[in-house]
Amino acid sequence: MSLDGTYDDGNIFAKILRGEAPAVRVFEDSHVLSFMDVFPQAKGHCLVIPKHSTARNFLEEAPEVIGPLMLAVQRVARATRAALDPDGLMITTFNGAASGQTVYHLHVHIIPRWDGVPLGRHGGGMADMEELKALAAQIAAKVA
C-alpha cells in the first residue's frame, strides 16, 4: 500500500477499537487508546492510536486529532520510562509500505531501548500474553 489510499475499517486497529479484536490495554481516554504491540521489537513496546480517526497515516491526520494523540504519546512514554527504566525510547510512525507500515490506521510506536540490547525485528515473533499483561499493568500504574 502506498501513502495514498482509502481507509479500510476492517483493519485490525479499527477492530480493536470496536471491541471486535482483543488488545492488552495500557491506557485510554476519550481521544486515544494505548495497547501493547503483540509482536514487540523490545520489552514494553506499545502503540497509541486515535479513537476517532480514519487517517491511514500521520500525514493524513487532522490537526485536532494530532494534538491529543501526541500529548497521550508523551504521557505513555513517560509512564514507560518510569515503569521500565530504559536507557532510551524510540517514538515513531511508519508511513506507507515503503517505510515498513503494515496497519493502515494511524498509530505511534513507543519502543523502550536499553544499551547493548539490539532492536528486535519489525513484525517479528509474537509475545507471551501473560508477560504483555504484566508489562501493561506496570506501565499503566505509572501513567500520571
Active site includes 122?
Answer: no
* Residue of closest CB approach to ligand AMP: 39
Q: Which residues bind ligand AMP (CB under 6 A)?
A: 12, 21, 23, 37-39, 94, 100-103, 123
* Phi/psi at 114 (5° precision): -120, 140
CB of 52 to ligand AMP, least distance (A): 19
Q: Which is nearer to ligand AMP, 65 or 111 (by Cβ)? A: 111
CA–CA separation, 144 vs 141, rounded Å? 8
Q: Which is nearer to ligand AMP, 18 or 144 (by Cβ)? A: 18
CB of 141 to ligand AMP, least distance (A): 20
CB 51, CB 30: distance < 8 Å: yes
Q: Which is nearer to ligand AMP, 11 or 138 (by Cβ)? A: 11
Residues 6 or more apart in contact with residue 31 via CB below 8 angstroms:
50, 51, 52, 65, 68, 69, 72
CB of 32 to ligand AMP, least distance (A): 15
What are the helix (H) ranges across the chain?
12-17, 63-84, 129-140
- Please tell me which residue in 45, 105, 107, 109 is annotated as part of the active site: 107
Distance between first and last Cα of the chain: 37
Q: Which residues are catalytic?
A: 107
